[in-house]
Structure 1
Amino acid sequence: MEASEEKQHPFPTVRSGLPLTAPFDWLRSGADDLKACGFASLFYGMCFAAAGALLLLAFRHAVQLVTAVTTGFMLVGPFFAIGLYELSRRREAGEPLHLIATLMVWRRNLGAIGIYSLILIVLYLVWARASLVMFALFYQGGMPTLESFIAQITRFDNIEFLLAYLAVGGLFAGLVFAFSVVSIPMMLDRQQDAVTAMLASFLALVRNLPMMLVWGALIVLLTAIGFATAFIGLIVLMPLVGHATWHAYRALIEARTP
């Protein structure tokens, strides 16, 4: 009987009409998770911050690669936050909040998460190539140092380049956001396949577009603050976003009936 019901209702029920203030509720719930999980959450934040700093150090002499790598870092963020989703799930279920138990949680649905991760990697590589093309086509005045590049951005020099870079980068970021809003939490929680999870994420975006634009803007803002603080802010802000994403999943997708 259960198998028959599963065949009749293979696709998750996506809610619609959530208020514009919902993302702020998710952030408040995420902050509660962050406080409850303590070091286990901050560990993932430290990994985000360390990865950002290492990438900047490795490519500091090639600004065109720095921008591609750091902005592309946001594209693969949903996968690296999987341990944070598991911590929120454990807190919700009343299970122990141990870091060790979350490190290999991706193995719970290895096939689906593996397919999704491969898609993210491909998008990341395409974006890195597109970023280099943007520099080649639109950047004027020779390749700058990282310091002069930041100074030019703050002065809005090379405005054609900035507009083109933001447009193309926004396209990639929007694509990833559309298909990752709830996909990994769903694969983790419901053992959902990758295609169904990504389609459910896209449907959640479409059905709640104004509210999801607010959520996307908050993610960009918090990530930008993390970058602007020399990645130190990511130690707290990335766990906050990760935990909040779990609560976004709970709000957007109806719980599966037993």
Structure 2
Amino acid sequence: MEHPVPDSEGGAPVAAPPRPQVRDLAFAAPLRWLARGARDLRAHPWIAAFYGVAFWMMAVTLALVFQHSPEYTMTIVSGCLLVGPFLAMGLYEVSRKRERGEPPSLPDSLTCWDRHLGSMGLLVLVLTVLELLWGRASLVVFAVFFNTGMPSTASVLQAVFNPRNWEFLAVYTVVGSIFAVLVFCSTVVSIPMILDRDTDAVTAAITSFGVVLQNTATMLLWGALVVGLTLLALWPWALGILIVGPWLGHASWHAYREAVGWDA
């Protein structure tokens, strides 16, 4: 419920804004989010197709970077993790409007972010710093283990599948996992939360971390499903991203709606 606070000028009490409340989630909740996301996708396939093409172009860019400059692959991956959630904001808007019984449209989904410039700008800044640190850490790992120069695509594949390079694989995996977890925890519900309530970026990020900490097993399942479906969608030629990308975007909105309540 709303809590009245005294007016700064001694007038009548003013109702405080509602505060986010992290809810307990069932372990199988991510399956429900995927089912609801699939319904949103089927309801507006042409909007989903637009965003699917955008996600597919990101996947193609990643593949080209890996082929020609593999040492920058993790930098591009982190960039995709930065751009992807904001691109998905348009899909959140479609699901939000559909939930309210309002007709969604592609132009509205493309401009939904402009009403939240302040909060989104600060969150972009934080994620950009994480992305730059991730990319730099990735280059440092390559430089340490490939001291004769940055590897070609062939030598990267040889390193990945060579058991003698387990130290490189272990360090590279640990470094990447740390930054991936930070990005996941800070964005899992923060962006749809900003879209829904115009919450400030700090509150949204803290709430997002709270959702993960309070429902760790459920959110681990959700993260595994996101990663697993994305990897499956990359074969062949990343064509599955055309469907899986918008599907996960819609499902992420329902993840937020079920994970975060409001006290008013």
TM-score of the superposed pair, with normalisation by structure 2:
0.88
Alignment of 1:102-181 (within 5 A): 102-139=109-146, 143-150=150-157, 152-154=159-161, 156=163, 158-181=165-188
- In structure 2, stretches of 5+ residues that fail to align are 6-13
For the Cα contact (< 8 Å) 2:72–2:139, is it kept in 1?
A: yes
Which consecutive unaligned segments of at least 5 residues does structure 1 have?
Answer: none
Q: Which moved more, 1:140-149 or 1:217-226?
A: 140-149
Letter in structure 1 aligned against 2:20:
P
| Counterpart in the other structure of 2:21 | 13
| SS of equivalent residue, structure 1 residue 13 | strand
| Structure 2 residue 79 is the aligned partner of structure 1 residue 86 | no
1:69 to 63, 68, 76: 76
1:160/1:76 Cα in 2 relative to 1: closer, same or farther (>3 Å)? Answer: farther
Give the letter aligned to residue 91 of structure 1. Answer: R
* Alpha-carbon contact 2:119-2:200 (below 8 Å) kept: yes
**One-letter amino acid of the counterpart of residue 208, structure 2:** S
Name the structure 1 match of 2:196. Answer: 189
Partners in 2 of 1:256 and 1:46 — Cα distance? Answer: 38
Q: CA RMSD in A?
A: 2.4
Other-structure match for 1:227: 234
Cα separation, 2, equivalents of 1:172 and 1:190: 27
Alignment check: 8 A CA contact 2:194 2:201 kept: yes
CA–CA distance in 1 between the matches of 2:57 and 2:140? Answer: 28
Contact 1:76–1:124 (CA under 8 A) maintained in structure 2:
no
Q: 1:251 aligns with which of 243, 258, 261?
A: 258
Q: 1:48 to 1:113 in 2, by over 3 A?
A: same
In 2 relative to 1, CA 39–256 (structure 1 residues): closer, same or farther, beyond 3 Å?
A: farther
Q: CA deviation at 1:7?
A: 5.6
Q: Distance in 2 between matches of 1:28 and 1:157?
A: 43
Contact map agreement 1:75 1:173 (CA 8 A) in 2 = no
Q: Within the alignment, does 1:4 sit opposite 2:4 as a pair?
A: yes
TM-aligned CA deviation for residue 140 of structure 1: 7.2
The 3 A distance-change label for structure 1 pair 145 and 227 is: farther
Identity %: 45
The number of residue pairs the alignment matches comes to 256
Q: Deviations over 1:28-69 (max 9, x none)?
A: 111111111101012112101112313443563211012331
Structure 1 CA distance, aligned partners of 2:241 and 2:129? 24
Q: Is the 8 A contact 2:2 2:16 kept in 1?
A: no
In structure 2, give the amino acid aligned to 1:109: H
